[in-house]
Chain A
Amino acid sequence: MTRLLAALGKTTLGTLAALGRIAIFTGQTFGHLLRPPFYPREFATALLQIGYFSLPVVGLTALFTGGALALQIYSGGARFSAEAVVPQIVAIGMVRELGPVLVGLMIAARVTSSIAAEIATMKVTEQIDALVTLSTDPMKYLTLPRVLAATLVMPVLVAVGNVIGIMGGWLVATQRLGFNPTGYLRNTVDFLELHDIGSSLAKGAVFGFLAALMGCYYGMASERGAMGVGRATKGAVVAAAVLILAANFLLTEAFFSA
């Protein structure tokens, strides 16, 4: 029993220590924001990698989710003869919650893992050390462009995801559930408020920040060898996913509990 408790306590302390290190890491990243030199090339590459190349997976995720959502709301709504609310609920469900969260989780899977694996490999093959000897700050050259790009590009991805998700719902509703195509869209547009959209994009920015930051942090903290890279990648994805979900709860609380 005490052994179990001790293990639990050790994990808790370890997590707290990691949180402290992550906070310091975040501070260092921001510290580089305004101090030159800047690396526009790295930033552009990061935008392309994180934003543009994530579009297919974001689109597919949103499309299927929007479709499934329409089906569920229709059959659930039928229980109290409220089938007509499909457009409104799909819109609000997608924009407020599912859009940002699913895109965030897909980015954690796709971007956090690749950032962590790349930086961890650079670390174990001494490329990070080589950067330092070439008078280049790894935080500035590797971390900042990725974190900045993810933070800026994620709202765009979330917006795209929202639109495609709503289109998924629209497709299913008009093809299978007999909704009027223009009426469905009008209901969606009329129902959504600016606040919904703004909160959605803000969530996106926060999730993008967390996803890239975790990739960079775990990559930089990687231990030696292939096992170190594997562990860094796993840790980064898990941390990013958990932090995204936790942040989602806090942000929802902040935006909508009034």
Chain B
Amino acid sequence: MITITGLTRSFGTKQVLRGVDLHVPKGQSMVVIGGSGTGKSVLIKCILGLVTPDGGTITVDGQDVTRVPRDAFLARFGMLFQGGALFDSLPVWQNVAFRLLRGSLRRPRPEARAIAIEKLRRVGLGPETADLYPAELSGGMQKRVGLARAIAAEPQIIFFDEPTTGLDPIMAGVINDLIREIVTEMGATAITITHDMSSVRAIADRVAMLHNGKIRWTGPASQLDSCGDPYVAQFIHGSPDGPIETLR
């Protein structure tokens, strides 16, 4: 369970988050939508402590994230970065098994490799990719390796930053199903950022829309089409006309 209250963050003079309030119940899949540059990535980086908030509080299972022991805290999380963020000095399988090769979750190398290959299979990559280096993969393949790495240690809380951008529609469907599966079967709590409306419908239990530094609307995915909020309506229909300004 993640609760965010009054979260603010600026970069220079630019106020990106202006008081975000968001609640993600345990074992649910929350999808965050919102225009490009509205601070969605910054929002999840704040939860992980990668970006320090200017104000507001974030609690996970009732504990303030700034006061918990970092290692134990982070061991519960998995994160897919928007750009993949694969370690380009390591082959694909060592990227996926990174957590399993060192630290508290350490396992024997052959076992870690077997798990990595299994996770790669789940994101639609064959065992032949295991020994390639990230630079030898296409953008969409890198994204999927990043996804495999995020789920490798079976975390309780997973963040996906645009998991399906750069993927073909079929692969995007596979990934959507995978995320749904992780939430329903493993009981994980997930926050997914996406611009892809078919993803939203496939993944989300709840949806939140970030606009102008605040959560504009949040509610169950089933109410997305009938919520009556003009901002949400404009966003999901991808219409250039509406309250959201499009600079041209």
Binding site for B on A (CB under 8 A): 37, 39, 118, 122, 125-127, 129-136
Contacts and interface: CB of A to CB of B under 8 A. Distances in A.
Interface string B28-52: 0000000000000000010011100
Interface in B9-61: 45, 48-50
B217 interface: no
Contacts of A125: 83, 85
Contact of A130 (B71, B75, B87): B87
Contacts of A130: 79, 81, 85-87
B75 A135 contact: yes
B228 interface: no
A126 B77 contact: no
Interface stretch (B98-106, B113-121, B176-184, B185-193): B98-106
Interface string B74-101: 1101110111011111000000001100
Interface of B: 45, 48-50, 71, 74-75, 77-79, 81-83, 85-89, 98-99, 102-104, 149
Contacts of B99: 134-135
Contacts of B86: 127, 130
A133 B77 contact: yes
A126 B85 contact: yes
Given A129-B85, A130-B87, A135-B103, 17 more contacts: A37-B103, A126-B81, A129-B50, A130-B79, A130-B85, A132-B49, A132-B74, A133-B78, A133-B79, A134-B74, A134-B99, A134-B149, A135-B71, A135-B99, A135-B104, A136-B98, A136-B103
Contacts of A131: 87
Contacts of A133: 48, 50, 74, 77-79
Given A125-B85, A129-B85, A130-B87, A136 B102 contact: yes
B9 to A, nearest CB: 15
A127 B85 contact: yes
A39 B83 CA distance: 26
Contacts of A127: 85-88
Contacts of B45: 129
Contacts of A135: 71, 74-75, 99, 103-104
A37 B87 CA distance: 19
Contacts of A132: 48-50, 74
A66 B74 CA distance: 54
A127 B79 CA distance: 12
25 contacts: A37-B103, A39-B102, A125-B83, A125-B85, A126-B81, A126-B82, A126-B83, A126-B85, A127-B87, A127-B88, A129-B45, A129-B50, A130-B81, A130-B87, A133-B48, A133-B50, A133-B77, A133-B79, A134-B74, A135-B75, A135-B99, A135-B103, A136-B98, A136-B102, A136-B103
B170 to A, nearest CB: 27
B102 A37 contact: yes
A118 B81 CA distance: 19
3 residue pairs, one from A and one from B, having the closest CB atoms: A126-B85, A130-B85, A133-B79
B81 A129 contact: yes
Of B48, B50, B82, most A-chain CB atoms within 10 Å: B50
Contacts of B74: 132-135
A1 B154 CA distance: 64
A233 B211 CA distance: 38
Contacts of A126: 81-83, 85
B241 to A, nearest CB: 34
Contacts of B78: 133
Contacts of B103: 37, 135-136
